[in-house]
């Protein structure tokens, strides 16, 4: 069903381009092709925004297809306007100019000097992601959550290699924050834990902090430590490494529709049911979560880190582990959304107008969520779509199953509104399609 919606979206996009390519998929054992070298966060290949935040170096055409990750920037980021926010279809990688990238529709809420992450019917919510990465640090968000069945608010850290640290709030439980973590997107069923919040999470802002060190990870609420995970307790004999978040990660804040009827049953159940789009919890036609400030205290690179610069973090090896991250001075800013890590391109590229019908996706679209994946496991999903994980079960991104980062299935949210510079590049050898890719739900 999602595929049908997807085709419709593609058809709409196609009028301004030519033929729509069958988007290549990426995941373990499946690297992106040379002409669409970057593996975006939803497991699809493309150029442009696919090569920026969320670009998985391990499944891209080569380790340098994705642009290097801009280094951590300590600061107090007050999210009281959209001045420091740029839509994903405009951002070209210059993190010195802009600190946040958006999908969906964040709006300014002046009375409270804050931003609202909104989610209206027919959309897949909103996402804010930092343009810089944190490689260990203390990250705090002062925020409220949304409320209602199927509505999930998230504040997470997510690396391009899919290490993840989560705070998530399901809209039917306004007493608890759910904490969780993953390593390289591997599903582990025992990592989730509820953290009780004093008062509720909706009416009043609380400060949620993630204190991420090379050896330990602590979740705190309003200044009280609620949970600590030690790296030494995460050794995995099978994979022969610590299943501990250890790679540079972006900060993400999102509101997403876990309770869409088209989602896996386990996801909907976890989120408390199917979303009611006539809910008293909506205002101005949307659900919302409010974010006031994000503070970031960057820690020094871990001892033993390879230091060859101070502007970016780079993956040097397919292992995607802490010891393969290098600090470098390489920064890549794309000339246009046709650029990639190896060929960033010029701002005003003159392209030959040969008659290629080739198409390439430039902006990963679809679901702008940005939080925990609460899908039923890939293995059981096809065979038994009623498989219901037990409480707290969480399936993580599984690129093989193609449901990476799927948090909903709408197409109308961020994706279809993306129309960057079509005029400028039409007629180019590569016809551009702003495809809403990345939506694969069985
Ligand atoms: C260990 O890693 C393997 C391979 O990634 C994974 O399938 C398994 O679930 C992990 N085990 C635990 C206990 O986390
Ligand atoms: C990476 O982690 C290992 C433990 O897995 C640790 O011994 C090592 O010092 C770390 N290296 C860096 C550069 O963080
Ligand atoms: C967290 O609390 C919810 C109820 O609000 C419960 O359904 C769920 O099982 C709990 N999760 C864990 C991991 O304890």
392-428 pLDDT per residue, tens: 222 222 222 222 233 323 332 222 222 222 222 222 2
Measured from the Cα of 236, ligand 1's closest atom is: 1
What CA–CA distance (Å, rounded) separates 41 from 205?
30
- Count the helices and strands in the chain (H runs, E runs): 4, 26
- Tokens coding 143: 């925020």
* Atom 7, ligand 3: residue with shortest CA distance: 391
- Tokens coding 244: 């501990």
348 belongs to the catalytic site: no
What CA–CA distance (Å, rounded) separates 5 from 373?
21
CA of 271 to the centre of ligand 3 (A): 11
Q: Are 301 and 327 in contact (CB under 8 A)?
A: yes
DSSP3 helix / strand / coil % (the chain, rounded to 5): 10, 30, 60
Active-site entry in 164, 203, 343, 375: 164
Surface-to-core class of residue 14, CB atoms within 10 Å of its CB (0-12 exposed, 13-18 middle, 19+ buried): middle
| CB-defined site of ligand 1, < 6 Å | 186, 188, 236, 238-239, 243
Residue 277 has pLDDT above 60, yes or no: yes
Q: What is the pTM of this model?
A: 0.81
What pLDDT does 365 receive? 67
* Extents of the domains making up the chain: 71-298
Does the CB atom of residue 110 touch ligand 3 within 6 A?
Answer: no
* Atom 9, ligand 3: residue with shortest CA distance: 391
| CB-defined site of ligand 2, < 6 Å | 214, 242, 302, 304-305, 322-323
CATH of domain 71-298: 2.60.120.200
What pLDDT does 396 receive? 28
Does the CB atom of residue 195 touch ligand 3 within 6 A?
Answer: no
Surface-to-core class of residue 371, CB atoms within 10 Å of its CB (0-12 exposed, 13-18 middle, 19+ buried): buried
What pLDDT does 346 receive? 82
Residue 355 has pLDDT above 50, yes or no: no
CA 272, 278, 282, 288 torsion-angle sign: positive
């Amino acid at each position: 069903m999602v595929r049908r919606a997807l085709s419709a979206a593609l058809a709409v996009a196609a009028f301004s381009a030519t033929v729509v390519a069958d988007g290549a998929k990426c995941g373990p054992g499946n690297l992106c092709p040379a002409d669409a070298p970057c593996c975006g966060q939803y497991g699809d290949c493309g150029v442009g925004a696919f090569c920026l935040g969320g670009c998985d170096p391990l499944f891209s055409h080569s380790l340098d297809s994705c642009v290097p990750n801009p280094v951590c920037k300590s600061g107090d980021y007050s999210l009281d306007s959209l001045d420091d926010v740029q839509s994903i279809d405009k951002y070209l990688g210059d993190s010195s100019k802009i600190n946040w990238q958006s999908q969906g529709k964040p709006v300014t809420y002046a009375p409270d000097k804050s931003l609202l992450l909104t989610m209206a019917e027919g959309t897949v919510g909103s996402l804010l992601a930092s343009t810089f990465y944190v490689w260990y640090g203390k990250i705090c968000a002062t925020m409220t959550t949304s409320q209602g069945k199927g509505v999930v608010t998230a504040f997470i850290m997510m690396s391009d290699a899919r290490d993840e640290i989560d705070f998530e709030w399901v809209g039917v439980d306004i007493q608890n924050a759910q904490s969780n973590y993953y390593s390289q997107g591997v599903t582990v069923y025992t990592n989730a834990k509820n953290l009780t919040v004093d008062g509720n999470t909706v009416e009043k802002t609380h400060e949620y902090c993630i204190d991420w060190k090379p050896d330990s990870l602590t979740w705190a609420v309003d200044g009280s430590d609620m949970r600590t995970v030690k790296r030494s307790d995460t050794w995995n004999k099978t994979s022969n490494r610590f299943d501990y978040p250890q790679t540079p990660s972006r900060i993400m804040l999102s509101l997403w529709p876990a309770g869409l009827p088209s989602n896996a049953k386990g996801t909907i159940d976890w989120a408390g049911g199917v979303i009611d789009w006539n809910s008293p919890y909506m205002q101005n036609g949307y659900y919302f979560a409010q974010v006031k400030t994000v503070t970031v205290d960057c820690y020094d690179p871990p001892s033993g880190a390879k230091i060859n610069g101070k502007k970016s973090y780079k993956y040097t090896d397919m292992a995607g582990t802490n010891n393969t991250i290098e600090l470098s001075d390489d920064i890549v800013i794309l000339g246009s959304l046709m650029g990639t890590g190896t060929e960033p391109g010029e701002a005003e590229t003159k392209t030959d107008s040969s008659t290629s019908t080739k198409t390439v996706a430039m902006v990963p679209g679809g679901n702008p969520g940005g939080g925990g994946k609460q899908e039923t496991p890939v293995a059981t999903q096809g065979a038994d779509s009623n498989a219901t994980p037990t409480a707290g079960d969480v399936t993580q991104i599984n690129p093989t199953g193609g449901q990476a980062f799927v948090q909903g299935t709408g197409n109308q949210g961020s994706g279809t509104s993306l129309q960057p510079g079509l005029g400028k590049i039409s007629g180019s050898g590569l016809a551009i399609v702003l495809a809403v890719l990345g939506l694969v739900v069985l």
